[in-house]
Structure 1
Amino acid sequence: MYIEASHMVYGQKAQLLSRPLRGVAGRHCLTFFYHMYGAGTGLLNVYLKKEGDTEEPLLWRRRGEQSISWLKALIEYSCERQHQIIFEAIRGVSIRSDIAIDDIKFQAGPCSELEDITQQSSGYSEDLNEIEY
């Protein structure tokens, strides 16, 4: 998923819905790479949509510019029912607030490489802005 901010206005959203996923007892692991670079970058949210529920709890969020490099996100969650994952990108204040995600992977069981929740994939990086859990 990629949002090109210059074709959007502040606060506009794009969502990507996963295919229906089978629930399992225990943990699930969701991994993906994300890129949020540019002044005025908005929000990237990940929600859990359980079959039969109207609420979509927030699993993960990043706000603002993160890194010039692609970063890896690892999210552990529990869900015993069929469900979907919603990726939501919200345009920030600047036309330079592009957001992208790639290489999305779902697996049953805990994340085997769960270190710092988010780890750098390559290149130079530093914390540039606020990170929320």
Structure 2
Amino acid sequence: QGNGPQYDHTLQTEDGWFIDTSSLKSNQTARLISTMTTVTTRGLCLRFWYRAYGAQRVKFNLLQRASFDVNATLISSIRPNLDIDWREAIIYRQTSGNYEFIFEGITGITVSSSDNIAIDDITTNEGSCPTQKFCDFESQDICGYVSDISGNFNWTRHQGATFSVSTGPQYDHTTFTKEGYYMYIETSSPRRPGDIARLISPTFPVSNEYHCLQFYYHQYGVDIGAFNVYKRDVGGSLNPLKIFSSRENRFDEWHVMEINIVPTKPYNIIFEGVVGKSFEGV
């Protein structure tokens, strides 16, 4: 119906099954609630495939409700966009207890036949999650990326325009709306020229094949410092290998970069932002 999936994720055929929101009318909410699930001290990895298509008139939320609670807690919000592909969400929960997971679809005042949320192949496994290959920063856990404590400050998860005029994007690259999230560095006071913030990826495994690192970056401001990307082998040299660097004002648009990686050892990717001469460098 409309722009709903033409096939499921499991079989990739019209014979497969999935759950979607195609029957919702305006101002309605649909909830799919899991059985009570135990999160042990080892944590729990929740994985599912979703397809969220629309022009921001619908919302797709994942909530968690403890066995003794009436209210649920929002743990992730995925904004619909114009992407017709199935995407995987991987979410790690580490607070032990018994919980229900709630998949929630909410429609707005107006609903188009193009507005559709579908989910398929939901799994839970005890323990940590595998390294996530794709990250759009829509989830609060930012896919396991962490800030480097040796830096002067941290990258910030943000949506919409940045706080400084004539800098930064107006929207993220995933949804192209002010609802989507991205990571950025804020260079206003108390930041000083040369201050550094580093964002470190989860560890990626060894492989006999090349890995392709692809990312979108936005570099807008008259006093841009530097944006560097490094590959650091686990157990290797303390000095990571610089694989990309950009210093110029690249104006108010998103740019794509692809870099081939030779994964001879487990490795991390480090995204480094360096503050320029003033706040006009994001």
- Per the TM superposition, whether the score is higher than 0.5 is yes
Which residue does the alignment assign to 1:94? Answer: 111
- Match 2:48 to one of 10, 32, 42: 32
Q: How many angstroms apart in 1 are the aligned matches of 2:51 and 2:106?
A: 13
Aligned-pair CA distance for 1:3: 0.7
How many residue pairs get matched? 125
Q: How many angstroms apart in 2 are the aligned matches of 1:77 and 1:66?
A: 29
| Contact in 2 for aligned 1:30/1:107 (Cα 8 Å) | yes
Larger deviation, residues 65-74 vs 90-99: 90-99
Larger deviation, residues 86-95 vs 71-80: 86-95
Q: How many angstroms apart in 2 are the aligned matches of 1:66 and 1:80?
A: 36
Q: Does 1:18 align with 2:34?
A: yes
- Structure ranking higher in strand proportion: 1
Helix, strand or coil at the partner of 2:43: strand
Q: Does 1:78 align with 2:94?
A: yes
For structure 2, list consecutive stretches of 5 or more residues without a partner in the other structure. Answer: 1-18, 137-172, 183-282
Helix, strand or coil at the partner of 1:112: coil
Which one-letter code corresponds to 2:89 in the other structure? A
The alignment yields a C-alpha RMSD, in angstroms, of 2.4
Q: What is the percentage of aligned positions where both structures have the same residue?
A: 27
Q: How many angstroms apart in 2 are the aligned matches of 1:100 and 1:85?
A: 16
Q: How many angstroms apart in 1 are the aligned matches of 2:96 and 2:90?
A: 19
Higher relative contact order (CA 8 A, sep 6+): 1
Q: Deviations over 1:54-104 (max 9, x none)?
A: 331111111232511111101111232111101001124332211100000
Bigger Rg, structure 1 or 2: 2
Q: How many angstroms apart in 1 are the aligned matches of 2:122 and 2:82?
A: 19
Helix, strand or coil at the partner of 2:94: strand
- Match 2:76 to one of 60, 75, 84: 60
For structure 1, list consecutive stretches of 5 or more residues without a partner in the other structure. Answer: 119-125
Q: How many angstroms apart in 2 are the aligned matches of 1:117 and 1:109?
A: 20
Q: How many angstroms apart in 2 are the aligned matches of 1:114 and 1:127?
A: 16
Helix, strand or coil at the partner of 1:75: strand
Please report the TM-score for the alignment, with normalisation by the length of structure 1: 0.80
Mapping for residues 39-58 of structure 1, pairs under 5 Å: 39-58=55-74
Which residue does the alignment assign to 1:114? Answer: 132
Please report the TM-score for the alignment, with normalisation by the length of structure 2: 0.40
